[in-house]
Amino acid sequence: MAKILTSAKFKSYNQQQSILLPLNLEDLVEGTHLVRVVNKVVDGMDLTSLVSQYKGGGTTSYHPKMLLKVLLYGYSIKIYTGRKIAAALRHDTHFMWIAAMNRPDFRTINNFRSGKAKETIELIFKEMLEFLMEQQYIKMENYFCDGSTFAADGNRNKMVWKKNAERYKASAGQKCRELFKEIDELNAAEDKEYGNNNLEQSGELSAVTEHDIDRHVQSLNKKIQDASDKKTVRKCKSIKKKLEEAQSKIHTYEGQEKVAGKRSGYNKTDEDATAMRMKNKVETLPAYNVLAGSEGQFITGVTVHQNPNDGVCFAEHIEQVTTMQQPFKPINVIADAAFGTEQNYELAETKGIGSFLKFPTFHAEETKKYRENPFLKDNFPYDPLTDTYTCPNKQLLVFTNSYHKTHKVTGYQSFIKEYACAGCKGCPFYEKCCKSAKEANRIIRVNEKLENHKQKAREKLKSEKGIQLRKQRGTEIESCFGDIKHNMGFRRFHVRTKQKVKTEITLVAMAHNLRKIHLQELKKAA
């Protein structure tokens, strides 16, 4: 190789080992680096619950504190898979430092995340909150709550819809009834059992049962044994085969209905995932609904749900975070209009939490169009002495009926009162007032308990404190979700099943908090 002649001077560059002892990694990690924040926070946490998961015996294990630090640091810098974290432990100085040169492979990392960490993730999260409180990052006063959908690690083309399963099951059932009729025609003895009604009439309105199919299969087997001509045997075997195929389909569809439960459907590759409309309002993907709460833009509670309705999931969310994740319950909870339901108001009241939950019509009530619309039931004057409402035509709406309404998902019961007007015929406002074709007269339905909760909510939300908290909510929890989805690039889970997904989103929430601590420390240092 020819020598390059030049008068320029360069620093020494020799790829051969010129240092007898290895470099000290401590010197290669900056004092203000994020990895030091992760190390400091985890060292300040009581991890007894995590360490106690190891029973001893056999070969030595990697220290769970080290594995937790590695996972949290990986999630903090947008590395979410076990293989990539394992690779970083072999070439990234910061990973080498926080792992003290330990090199667990990707299986060890994944098994830790889906095993030991999964079992204790709630307690680990609680320890982080206690650390944040000790360092005065949070006070656990206000809990700003909202939900956001995250795509599941499931094939978007492998959705099972409950309505389809019900329809296909009914079709298979009808096929069985037709086969029953053929069997009836082959076996005259069935006439005695069903009298003047044939099998199609007696089974047409009810579902085909396992007992029905087994009984007719036995009848066919007997007919095959007793038949003397081959034509009858072939026909019986053909019907039996079709009946067994229909039976197999019914089993499949019943299984799909059972897995779907109260959901609209599920994903084949992750059966816990539910089809949800994503934020772009274009895609419908297998996903999970994540509810989270924050204070000072630190996430102080996070849960995973299979229902896309935030208000429906709120009761379960509050129950989980206050009993399993938080050191103690917050003083106030603040959320948007999706959360303002009777059940949620009652829950907050029962738990002694101040609720600043908007109800769906809160902002509409502030508009002139809403206030001046005389045909809205909220604008009908009410007389408590006679328990009547008055319509725009000065006619009375009197109490006619009451009933309990059960929510189809939560099972929560509301008490509804109906008031009806007796003189709507010939009313000049009929077209504007009575919009339901099923009702000849105007009927209004009133939930008095909910109305009382809404009145209390109005007073709180319109107070000076309520206005301040409402303004703050937009920059609180929305910023947390924005950081996770935009800055951290976490929009889709990398694990399957609800419990593993819960572990991962809790790690993401903790990583977000660590990033927030790092930013605040950088501001202090500046």
Q: Indicate whether 196 and 167 sit together in one domain.
A: yes
Q: Indicate whether 181 and 124 sit together in one domain.
A: no
Does residue 86 lie in a domain region?
Answer: yes
Q: What is the pLDDT of residues 175-195, one digit of tens each?
A: 888 888 887 777 654 454 445
pLDDT of residue 96: 95
* Distance, CA of 321 to CA of 344 (rounded, Å): 15
Does residue 132 lie in a domain region?
Answer: yes
Confidence grade of residue 207 (pLDDT, cut at 50, 70, 90)? confident
No. of helices (H) and no. of strands (E), the chain: 19, 13
The answer to whether the beta carbons of residues 424 and 441 sit under 8 Å apart is yes
Does residue 449 lie in a domain region?
Answer: no
What phi-psi label fits residue 140: left (phi over 0), alpha (psi between -120 and 50 degrees) or beta? left
- Residue 374, pLDDT > 80, answer yes
Q: Indicate whether 72 and 128 sit together in one domain.
A: yes
Q: Indicate whether 173 and 68 sit together in one domain.
A: no
pLDDT of residue 440: 82
Q: Indicate whether 185 and 93 sit together in one domain.
A: no
Quick one: average pLDDT of 320-345? 95
| Nearest CA among 104, 113, 148 for reference residue 496 | 113
Quick one: average pLDDT of 412-421? 95
Please state, for a pLDDT cut of 70, what percent of the chain lies above it.
93
* Distance, CA of 487 to CA of 293 (rounded, Å): 19
Does residue 121 lie in a domain region?
Answer: yes
Does residue 82 lie in a domain region?
Answer: yes
pLDDT of residue 307: 94
Query: How many separate domains does the chain show?
Result: 2
Structure tokens at 313: 């999931």
* E strands in 203-351: 265-267, 274-277, 284-295, 298-305, 332-335
pLDDT of residue 193: 43
Q: Which of 202-216, 249-263, 312-326 has the highest mean pLDDT?
A: 312-326
The answer to whether the beta carbons of residues 212 and 248 sit under 8 Å apart is no
C-alpha Rg value of the chain to the nearest Å: 33
User: Quick one: which H or E segment has residue 51?
Assistant: helix 48-51
Does residue 357 lie in a domain region?
Answer: no
Q: What is the pLDDT of residues 478-496, one digit of tens each?
A: 999 999 999 999 999 999 9
Q: What is the pLDDT of residues 235-286, one digit of tens each?
A: 888 888 888 888 888 888 888 889 998 888 899 999 999 999 887 777 889 9
Last residue within a domain, chosen from 231, 266, 301: 266
pLDDT of residue 17: 59
Last residue within a domain, chosen from 85, 108, 140: 140
Confidence grade of residue 449 (pLDDT, cut at 50, 70, 90)? very high
The whole-chain average pLDDT of the chain stands at: 89
SS (H, E, C) 339-393: HCCHHHHHHHHHHCCEEEECCCCCCHHHCHHHHCCCCCHHHCCEECCCCEEECCC
Does residue 518 lie in a domain region?
Answer: no
Q: Indicate whether 92 and 176 sit together in one domain.
A: no
Q: Indicate whether 128 and 44 sit together in one domain.
A: yes
Quick one: average pLDDT of 15-42? 83
* Other Cβ atoms within 10 Å of 327 Cβ, number: 12
Q: Indicate whether 75 and 43 sit together in one domain.
A: yes
Q: Indicate whether 49 and 79 sit together in one domain.
A: yes
pLDDT of residue 363: 94
Confidence grade of residue 20 (pLDDT, cut at 50, 70, 90)? low
Structure tokens at 142: 């206000």
Q: What is the pLDDT of residues 274-313, one digit of tens each?
A: 999 887 777 889 999 999 999 999 999 999 999 999 999 9
pLDDT of residue 318: 96
Confidence grade of residue 205 (pLDDT, cut at 50, 70, 90)? very low
- Label the pairing between strands 274-277 and 265-267: unpaired
pLDDT of residue 345: 97
Q: Indicate whether 52 and 103 sit together in one domain.
A: yes
Last residue within a domain, chosen from 266, 285, 314: 266
* Distance, CA of 91 to CA of 80 (rounded, Å): 17
Does residue 257 lie in a domain region?
Answer: yes
The answer to whether the beta carbons of residues 290 and 508 sit under 8 Å apart is no
Sign of the Cα torsion 364, 368, 371, 375 reads negative
Strand partners, 333: 143, 355
Place of tokens 């019914």: 250
Between residues 1 and 445, the one the model is more confident about = 445
What is the 8-class DSSP label of residue 207?
A: P
pLDDT of residue 279: 78
| Nearest CA among 84, 79, 1 for reference residue 35 | 79
- Residue 111, pLDDT > 60, answer yes
Per the structure, the complete domain to which residue 99 belongs is given by 25-140
| Nearest CA among 173, 172, 171, 185 for reference residue 220 | 185
* Distance, CA of 309 to CA of 288 (rounded, Å): 11
Q: Indicate whether 164 and 239 sit together in one domain.
A: yes
* Distance, CA of 389 to CA of 397 (rounded, Å): 5
Q: What is the pLDDT of residues 216-227, one digit of tens each?
A: 888 788 777 777
Q: Indicate whether 231 and 133 sit together in one domain.
A: no
- Residue 164, pLDDT > 50, answer yes
Query: How many CA within 13 A on the CB side of residue 172?
Result: 23
